[in-house]
């Protein structure tokens, strides 16, 4: 084996390399897919490229988006959090009860703030139960979060007896439906969360440690990374983000029901993989995952506009993931062939 | 068929002649000849990349040699070699990782051959157990064949691997680095078994780049270098130093670097350190700018001692002082904070995070240094990485490339750089040249010398005696968990030191 | 620390032993506090209701042993239900031989899709099966428009009692057809993984894929056998579930995949492959359903079932990964620090 020498790349490819470096090779494919979806639906329906589509995407994206952010960091750490949706449900319930206990539709802003803080606490606690089990016993994250999911679902159903809880004060409406400077409030919240997560993952010690832990936890420990603390914090933060999603979902639907958004669990995993997150952990970027989310939501909204069922979109999401994984395999194969030829 | 009338010459169980292999224009093997006689014990020696594993893969039919190669099993020429044909001829390989199945029972591991291939059929569990017991008994081993393999230590697993090879009616067994993770007594036991098998007419070929332990048992050693045959030598009177010269093609005209350090203050003082089953009553002192070599065979407790000083294994008794202050190390983060770094012997899985970037690996232990208002500053990170790349002359493409794109020597430089960035007082180098080419080794030791000159205290652990002999100021010999002797390289010859360690 | 001496059989089958002990103690408590628990009717009922999950479970067990995971099998079973219902209505009802054959072919086919994607494109099983979960479910709902089918062939919905016994209080204890089908599936899986050479190869492949490859085990065959077997079991379980529910509902089985996964892993199968037994699998499923059954008999709110079961599984996973001895040792070390 010899060390790769530093050679000036042919100028013909320099611009290409610079663009891929700036955007990340992963994102170029996603941007192409995004343009593809826009062109496809734009040509199929003149109404597609309109404010209506934008609104539909902007209001629907946040729930899925926030839950995907909650899923993202555990996946990068080499784990998974299958309990995201039910954690969100339970956090929504917490807030709903605080509001109901304080007069339902007449509840004060103060009650809302207290309720929200409690909801964030509940979400974080769910993560704080899973994190140590995963970090200290070495139990598989799929199992730990799966049993947590079953537990939370049971707990929620037990507490609500499967009923909807509704009747909230007027002032929470804008959280789900309002607009600020022409931008839907839920979308703004999602953008803030995305920015926060981006900074957390690229600029903080925790984010850095998370990537290292995801690649090789033992080597990270030997290098002085507090691996267990990292895992505990990652799952706690995942729970906190679930709480944000739960609050937004409550405002969007004006009700809380356990089981709401249940089908999102696997979609959030799908969005992560589509966004180039390594299924074995260690690699993945918030921006790419955000792009993947937009593509998924555009597909769904576009089909909706064409009058096709939501379920066709679900199937397409699955096909899209398979297609992207197969293309990645082809690219890796080509790369390998080129290296062995050199 | 004409019978060869040479009764004095035994027919080789395996012989290869003029074997060449190319990969994409690069010759991996060039006109190599190799033969194994029935029941002999042979060494196949060579550096990493010398063509040892390529040769084994030709013999087992994984790679096809270029036209002109002559291969014969038990005197019968073979047209094309295939894995099945090799196995049918009784050629077995025990890989370094053993390729066993930890979740399955011992009996299932030994009897795996019987369940391969063909149409699905019934497994005879009783026959499988019986056969496993018989085979293990032949090796003088007696353990529970119904227990899962994962409940056994490496040495016992190796016996299982040998038994599995015997189940295939082996005539020749290749053993790839068999002693690399065995303790001395386990190695002795293995060698005893090899003698038994050899007496039963089964030839054994040790494939290794570290042959001290097996030199005395084998009768011949075949040396490869750069894909070419250097020669076949009798092991009579062969020393490890001579063998190393043959393998590397370089004569070691190194001079002893040991110096006196009058008045240098002690950096590390270990007193009466003990840990059950690992090491007992260890005391040692390393002074500023001093390099202390620690040698001894595997299982002597070297790595455990190093991990204790690095805060990853808690000692039962004794004290560790750094710059005169007693350390209470709860984790390696405490040790790093105090100024202790540890270069793992397992660079691939513990020393560096292979898929991550060179830059990220470098800054891993020093994240605190590259923060601006609590956030990681990419500018500070770049500066820090650039500085160490230059300081240690690391050859790389981009700092954002994965570690795995680097050669062994350059990876080791990154592994050292990551600790130097911490601003250390003491660095523990555990087998720093494992998997590093000979040329690059000299470079690593130049860095070690420079660091010592800058005042770093260095604990250099190696089981290659010449490494510590030439590069340390004093050499500690560890055996059975105790430091049994201390030598000054200036007053003992390399030969005597080797004799003492491998005695 | 004093070392605990554990008999050999218990050591090599420690998960199963623990499950038996826990299961027996739960049964003991339940038969003491509820006079209905330890009756033939209740035990038969337990078997009747557990049949579908057990068939799924032994199928999933094979995939887990081979080192994979499958999220899509329950949805695949729903697809098979529709395929069988539609195909048979086309030919005017058919009989159980045709029904079973169609279900087997469709099930194995859907499993083979997963195996092909995993093997030929080197995509890990969780990614593949999450994708196929969405594809199967989306297409099923799209083409059926979520409509249920109630008009089913006679052979499929006709309740068949294999064994009945009138109890002292006059009620009937009945063992129905699903139990027999389940028994056949469990037995077949046991023969496959425990007593056939193929089964040994599956364990070896799941345990150490690289080692298996070097020994010359056919990797592609392993993937197709594992996922094909699960597909087959899913198809059969789909038929059984329809027999039990008397209707075909497109989303009846959704969510079942994770419950079954939890039960199988509770039974000692290991994510990552190489470990798991049919006995453990049965015990895992039974533990969940006995707990459910007991809570029901004790008059505890049905809404509390899942919560308690989730907590039990979480506790079991924590303890099985960190045996008490290890936790105590860890505490000891800390206190010494």
Query: Does any CB of chain C come closer than 8 Å to the CB of residue B126?
Result: no
Neighbour-count burial for C260-271, b at 16+ CB within 10 Å, e otherwise: bbbbbbbbbbbb
pLDDT of residue B202: 92
- Judge whether residue C132 has pLDDT over 90: yes
CA–CA distance, B492 with B212 (Å, rounded to integer): 19
| DSSP state string for B47-91 | -TTSSHHHHHHHHTTSSPPPTT-EEEETTEEESS--HHHHHHTTE
Nearby residues of A314 by Cβ (< 8 Å), 6 or more positions away: A263, C134, C137, C138, C141
Q: Measured between CB atoms, does C174 come within 8 Å of chain A?
A: no
Please give the distance of CA C247 from its chain centroid, rounded to a whole number.
Answer: 21
CB contact under 8 A, C141 and A311: yes
Sorting pLDDT into bands at 50, 70 and 90, what band is C332?
very low
**Residue C167 above 80 pLDDT?**
no
Provide DSSP, A305-335: HTT--HHHHHHHHHHHHHHHHHHHHHHHHHH
Q: Are A123 and A104 in contact (CB under 8 A)?
A: no
Distance, in Å, from the CA atom of B31 to the CA atom of B42, rounded to the nearest integer, reads 20
Q: What stretches of B340-456 adopt beta strand conformation (E)?
A: 340-343, 371-372, 375-376, 426-430
CA distances for C295 relative to A217, C20, C291, C292, angstroms: 41, 19, 6, 5
- Say yes or no for a CB contact (<8 Å) between C313 and A154: no
Mean pLDDT of the B6-23 span: 80
- pLDDT of res. C172: 73
Helix (H, G, I), strand (E, B) or coil at B22: strand
Comparing A60-64, A233-237, B133-137, B254-258, the range with the smallest average pLDDT is B254-258
pLDDT band at C333 (very low <50, low <70, confident <90, very high): very low
Please tell me if residue C261 touches chain A, with a CB cutoff of 8 Å.
yes
Q: If you average pLDDT over residues B226-251, what whole number do you get? A: 81
Residues 6+ apart with CB under 8 A from A191: none
Q: How far is CA B430 from CA B307, B341, B415, B458, in A?
A: 10, 11, 12, 11
Inter-chain residue contact B365 with A202, CB threshold 8 Å: no
- According to DSSP, the residues that pair with B426 across neighbouring strands are B340, B457
Structural contact between residues C181 and C55, judged by C-beta atoms closer than 8 angstroms: yes
* Yes or no, beta carbons of B405 and A4 under 8 Å apart: yes
- Measured in whole angstroms, the distance separating CA A247 from the mean position of its chain's CA atoms is 15
Contact state of C198 with B120 under an 8 Å Cβ cutoff: yes
Mean pLDDT over C135-144 rounds to: 91
Question: What's the confidence (pLDDT) of residue A20?
Answer: 60
Residue B102, chain C, CB below 8 Å: the answer is yes
C200–B123 C-beta distance less than 8 A: yes
Q: Which residue has the higher pLDDT, B345 or B322?
A: B322
- A partners (3+ CB pairs within 8 A) are B, C
Which of C70, C71, C117, C138 should one mutate to test binding to chain A, selecting the residue with the greatest count of A CBs within 10 A? C138
Q: Pick from C115, C303, C315 the residue to mutate for testing the A interface (most A CBs within 10 Å).
A: C303
Q: What is the pLDDT of residue C66?
A: 95
User: CB of A273 within 8 Å of any CB in chain C?
Assistant: yes
pLDDT of residue C228: 97
pLDDT value for A340? 61
Which pair of structure tokens corresponds to residue C73?
A: 């099998």
Q: Identify the pLDDT of residue A26.
A: 67
β-pair type (B371-372, B375-376): antiparallel
A222 vs B: CB within 8 A = yes
- Banded model confidence at residue C81, pLDDT cuts 50, 70, 90: very high
**Gap from C335 CA to chain B (nearest CA, Å):** 12
Q: Using CA atoms, how far apart are residues B285 and A48, in angstroms rounded to an integer? A: 76
Q: Any idea what the Cα angle at residue C221 is, between residues C216 and C225, rounded to 5°? A: 135
Q: Is C323 exposed, middle or buried (0-12, 13-18, 19+ CB in 10 A)?
A: middle
Alpha-carbon dihedral of residues C216, C217, C219, C222, nearest 10 degrees?
Answer: 170
Q: Is the pLDDT of residue B1 over 50?
A: no
Cα angle B343-B349-B354, degrees, rounded to a multiple of 5: 95
pLDDT, tens digit (0-9, with 9 covering 90-100), for B65-114: 888 888 888 888 888 888 888 888 889 989 888 889 998 999 999 998 88
When pLDDT is averaged across residues B200-214 and rounded to a whole number, the result is 79
pLDDT (0 to 100) of residue C7: 47
Query: Which residues, listed in sequence order, are joined to residue B460 by a DSSP beta bridge?
Result: B293, B429
Cβ contact (<8 Å) for A140 and C272? Answer: yes
pLDDT in tens, B466-483: 888 888 999 999 988 899
Give the minimum alpha-carbon distance from B325 to chain A in angstroms, rounded to a whole number: 21
Higher pLDDT among residues C246 and A6, named by residue: C246
What distance in Å separates the CA atoms of residue C92 and residue C4, rounded to the nearest whole number?
Answer: 65
Residue B263 contacts C, CB cutoff 8 Å: no
User: What local confidence, expressed as pLDDT, does residue C102 receive?
Assistant: 93
> What angle (nearest 5°) sits at the alpha carbon of residue B132, between those of residues B129 and B136?
140
**A residues 159-198 closer than 8 Å to B (CB):** none
Average pLDDT for residues B212-234, to the nearest whole number?
A: 84
User: What pLDDT is attached to residue A4?
Assistant: 40
- The region, left, alpha or beta by phi > 0 then psi within -120 to 50, assigned to residue A163 is beta
- Tally A–C CB contacts below 8 A: 162
Q: Write the DSSP assignment of B211-267 as a string of letters.
A: -HHHHTT-SEEEEEETTEEEEEEE-TT--HHHHHHHHHS------------TTPPEE
The per-residue pLDDT for A234 is 96
Which segments of chain A have a pLDDT < 50? 1-11
DSSP helix/strand/coil, B503: coil
Neighbours of A340 (CB within 10 A): 9
Q: What percent of chain C has pLDDT over 90?
A: 38
* Four-point Cα dihedral B441, B446, B451, B455, nearest 10: 130
Angle at C42 between CA C39 and CA C48, to 5 degrees: 140
Given a contact cutoff of 8 angstroms between Cβ atoms, the answer to whether B194 and B202 are in contact is no
Least confident of A289-293, B189-193, B219-223, B249-253: B249-253
pLDDT, mean over chain B: 85
Dist. CA C128–CA C115, nearest whole Å: 9
Q: How many CA atoms lie within 13 A of B183 on its CB side?
A: 15
Q: Is C318 on the interface with A (CB under 8 A)?
A: yes
Residue C2: predicted pLDDT: 36
Q: Is C215 on the interface with B (CB under 8 A)?
A: yes
Q: What is the pLDDT of residues B437-460, one digit of tens each?
A: 666 778 888 888 888 998 999 999
User: Which tokens is C233 given?
Assistant: 């079991």
Q: For the purposes of burial, counting CB atoms within 10 Å of the CB of A24, is it exposed (0-12), middle (13-18) or buried (19 or more)?
A: middle
Q: What is the pLDDT averaged over residues B167-194?
A: 82
CB contacts < 8 A (A, B): 86
**A304 CA: distance to closest CA in chain C (Å):** 13
Q: Chain C contacts of A331, Cβ < 8 Å?
A: none
Q: Is A148 on the interface with C (CB under 8 A)?
A: yes
Choose from C192, C200, C272, C277 for mutation: most chain B CBs within 10 A: C200
Most B CBs within 10 Å, among C61, C64, C197, to test the B interface: C197
H or E, element range at A158? helix A141-160
Helix (H) or strand (E) holding B106: helix B106-110
pLDDT band at C12 (very low <50, low <70, confident <90, very high): low
Helices A286-305 and A185-203 meet at what angle, rounded to 10?
Answer: 150
Segment of B1-15, B173-187, C179-193 carrying the highest mean pLDDT = C179-193
**Confidence category of residue C155, pLDDT binned at 50, 70, 90:** confident
Looking at chain C, the number of H-run helices and the number of E-run strands are 15, 2
Tens digit of pLDDT for each residue in B22-50?
876 677 888 899 999 998 999 898 877 78
Q: Which of C251, C231, C309, C216 is nearest to C72 (CA)?
A: C231
Give the H or E element holding residue C222.
helix C219-245
Q: Does B103 touch chain C (CB under 8 A)?
A: yes
Q: Comparing C-alpha atoms, which of B352, B341, B342 is closest to residue B435?
A: B352
Q: For the segment C22-36, what is each residue's pLDDT rounded down to a tens digit?
A: 888 888 888 888 777
Please tell me whether residue A48 adopts helix, strand or coil conformation.
Answer: coil
The residue-averaged pLDDT of C152-170 equals: 76
Q: Which two tokens stand for residue B264?
A: 């240098």
For the whole model, what pTM was predicted? 0.85
Say if residue C97 is exposed, middle or buried (CB neighbours under 10 Å; 0-12, 13-18, 19+): exposed
User: Other C-beta atoms within 10 Å of B239: how many?
Assistant: 14
| A190 closest CA partner among A37, A50, A67, A56 | A67
Give the β-pairing of B26-36 and B279-287: unpaired
Using one digit for the tens of pLDDT, what is the confidence trace for C248-283?
A: 898 888 888 888 998 898 888 888 888 899 999 999
Tokens in use for B304? 């455990």
Taking only residues 74 to 133 of chain A, the set having a beta carbon closer than 8 angstroms to any beta carbon of chain C reads 82, 133
Detail the DSSP E strand segments found in C206-272. Answer: none
Q: What SS3 state is found at B355? A: coil
Q: Quick one: pLDDT at residue C90?
A: 86
Q: Determine the pLDDT at residue A52.
A: 78
Q: Is the reported ipTM for this assembly greater than 0.85?
A: no
Spell C167-192 as b/e; 16+ CB within 10 A means b.
eeeeeebbbbbbbebbeebbebbbeb
Q: How far is A140 from chain C (nearest CA, A)?
A: 7
Residue A178, helix vs strand vs coil: coil
């Amino acid at each position: 084996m010899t060390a790769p020498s530093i050679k000036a790349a042919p100028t013909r490819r320099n611009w290409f390399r610079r663009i891929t470096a700036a955007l990340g090779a992963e994102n170029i494919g996603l941007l192409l897919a995004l343009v593809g979806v826009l062109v496809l639906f734009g040509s199929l329906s003149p109404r597609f490229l309109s404010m209506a589509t934008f609104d539909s995407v902007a209001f629907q994206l946040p729930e899925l988006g926030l839950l995907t952010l909650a899923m993202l960091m555990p996946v990068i750490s080499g784990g998974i959090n299958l309990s995201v949706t039910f954690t969100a449900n339970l956090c929504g319930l917490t807030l709903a009860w605080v509001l109901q206990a304080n007069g339902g539709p007449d509840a004060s802003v103060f009650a809302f703030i207290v309720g929200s803080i409690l909801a964030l606490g509940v979400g974080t606690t769910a993560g704080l139960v899973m994190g140590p089990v995963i970090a200290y016993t070495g139990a598989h994250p799929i199992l730990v979060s799966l049993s947590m999911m079953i537990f939370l679902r049971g707990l929620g159903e037990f507490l609500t007896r499967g009923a909807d809880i509704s009747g909230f004060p007027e002032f929470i409406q804008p959280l789900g439906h309002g607009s600020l400077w022409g931008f839907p409030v839920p979308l703004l919240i999602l953008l803030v969360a995305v920015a926060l997560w981006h900074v957390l993952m690229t600029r903080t010690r925790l984010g850095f440690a998370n990537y290292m832990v995801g690649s090789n936890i033992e080597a990270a420990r030997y290098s002085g990374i507090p691996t267990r603390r990292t895992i505990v914090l990652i799952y706690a933060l995942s729970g906190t983000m679930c709480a944000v999603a739960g609050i937004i979902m409550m405002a969007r639907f004006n009700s809380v029901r356990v089981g709401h958004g249940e089908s999102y669990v696997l979609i959030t995993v799908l969005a992560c993989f589509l966004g180039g997150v390594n299924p074995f952990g260690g690699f993945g970027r918030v921006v790419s995952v955000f792009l993947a989310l937009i593509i998924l939501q555009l597909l769904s909204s576009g089909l909706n506009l064409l009058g096709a069922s939501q379920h066709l979109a679900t199937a397409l999401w699955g096909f899209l993931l398979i297609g992207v994984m197969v293309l990645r395999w082809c690219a890796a194969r080509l790369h390998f062939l080129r290296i062995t030829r050199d | 068929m004409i019978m060869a009338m040479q009764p004095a010459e035994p027919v080789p169980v395996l012989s290869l002649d003029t074997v060449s292999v190319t990969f994409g224009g690069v010759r991996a093997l060039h006109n190599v000849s190799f033969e194994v006689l029935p029941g002999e014990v042979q060494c196949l020696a060579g550096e990493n990349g010398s063509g040892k594993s390529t040769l084994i893969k030709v013999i087992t039919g994984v790679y096809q040699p270029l036209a002109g190669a002559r291969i014969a099993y038990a005197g019968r020429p073979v047209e094309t070699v295939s894995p099945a044909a090799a196995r049918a001829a009784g050629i077995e390989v025990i890989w370094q990782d053993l390729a066993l199945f930890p979740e399955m029972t011992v009996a299932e591991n030994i009897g795996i051959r019987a369940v391969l291939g063909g149409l699905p059929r019934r497994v005879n569990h009783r026959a499988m157990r019986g056969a496993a017991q018989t085979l293990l008994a032949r090796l003088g081993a007696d353990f529970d064949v119904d227990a899962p393999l994962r409940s056994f230590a490496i040495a016992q697993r190796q016996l299982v691997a040998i038994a599995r090879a015997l189940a295939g009616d082996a005539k020749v067994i290749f053993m790839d680095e068999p002693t690399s993770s065995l303790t001395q007594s386990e190695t002795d036991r293995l060698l005893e078994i090899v003698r038994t098998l050899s007496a039963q007419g089964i030839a054994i070929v040790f494939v290794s780049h570290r042959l001290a332990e097996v030199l005395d048992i084998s009768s011949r050693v075949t040396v490869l270098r750069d894909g070419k045959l250097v020669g076949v030598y009798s092991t009579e009177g062969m020393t490890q130093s001579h063998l190393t010269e043959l393998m590397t093609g370089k004569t070691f005209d190194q001079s002893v670097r040991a110096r006196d350090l009058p008045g240098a203050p002690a950096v590390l003082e270990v007193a009466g350190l003990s840990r059950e089953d690992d090491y007992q009553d260890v005391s040692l002192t390393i002074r500023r700018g001093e390099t202390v070599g620690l040698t001894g065979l595997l299982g002597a407790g070297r790595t455990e001692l190093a991990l204790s000083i690095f805060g990853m294994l808690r000692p039962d008794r004794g004290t560790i002082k750094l710059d005169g202050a007693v350390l209470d190390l709860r984790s390696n983060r405490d040790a790093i904070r105090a100024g202790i770094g540890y270069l793992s012997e397992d660079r691939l899985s513990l020393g560096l995070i292979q898929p991550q970037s060179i830059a990220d690996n470098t800054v891993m232990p020093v994240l605190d240094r590259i923060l601006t208002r609590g956030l990681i500053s990419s500018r500070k990170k770049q500066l820090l990485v650039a500085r160490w790349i230059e300081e240690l002359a690391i050859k790389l493409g981009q700092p954002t490339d994965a570690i795995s794109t680097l050669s062994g020597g350059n990876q080791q430089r990154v592994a050292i750089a990551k600790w130097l960035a911490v601003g250390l007082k003491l660095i523990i180098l555990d087998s720093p040249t494992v998997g590093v080419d000979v040329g690059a080794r000299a470079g690593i030791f130049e860095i070690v010398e420079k660091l010592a000159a800058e005042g770093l205290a260095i604990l250099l652990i190696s089981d290659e005696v010449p490494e510590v002999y030439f590069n340390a100021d004093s050499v500690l010999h560890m055996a059975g968990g105790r430091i049994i002797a201390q030598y000054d390289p200036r007053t003992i010859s390399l030969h005597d030191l080797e004799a003492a360690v491998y005695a | 620390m004093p070392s605990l001496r554990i008999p050999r059989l218990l050591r090599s089958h420690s998960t199963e032993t623990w499950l038996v002990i826990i299961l027996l103690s739960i049964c003991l408590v339940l038969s003491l506090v509820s006079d209905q628990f330890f009756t033939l009717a209740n035990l038969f009922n337990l078997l009747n209701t557990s049949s579908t999950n057990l068939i799924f479970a032994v199928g999933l067990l094979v995939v887990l042993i081979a080192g994979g995971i499958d999220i899509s099998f329950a949805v695949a079973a729903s697809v098979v239900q529709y395929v069988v219902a539609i195909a048979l209505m086309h030919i005017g009802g058919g009989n159980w031989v045709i029904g079973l054959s169609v279900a087997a072919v469709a099930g194995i086919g859907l499993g083979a899709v997963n195996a092909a994607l995993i093997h030929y494109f080197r995509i890990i099983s969780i990614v593949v099966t999450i994708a196929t979960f969405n594809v199967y479910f989306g297409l099923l709902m799209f083409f059926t428009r979520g409509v249920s089918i109630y008009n089913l062939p006679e052979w499929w919905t006709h309740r068949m009692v294999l064994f009945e016994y009138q109890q002292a209080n006059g009620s009937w204890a009945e063992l129905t057809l699903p139990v027999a089908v389940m028994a056949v599936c469990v037995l077949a899986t046991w023969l496959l993984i425990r007593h056939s050479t193929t089964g040994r190869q599956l364990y070896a492949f799941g345990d150490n894929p690289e080692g298996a490859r070097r020994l010359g085990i056919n990797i592609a065959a392993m993937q197709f056998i594992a996922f094909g077997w699960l597909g087959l079991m899913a198809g059969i379980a789909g038929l059984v579930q329809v027999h039990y529910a008397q209707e075909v509902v497109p989303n009846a089985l959704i969510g079942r995949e994770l419950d079954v996964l939890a039960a199988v892993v509770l039974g000692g199968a290991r994510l990552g492959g190489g470990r798991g037994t049919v006995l453990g699998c049965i015990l895992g499923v039974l533990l969940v359903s006995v707990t459910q059954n007991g809570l029901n008999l004790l008059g505890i709110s049905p809404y509390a079932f899942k919560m308690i079961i989730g907590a039990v599984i979480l506790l079991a996973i924590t303890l099985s990964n960190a045996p008490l001895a290890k936790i105590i040792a860890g505490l000891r070390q800390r206190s010494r620090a």
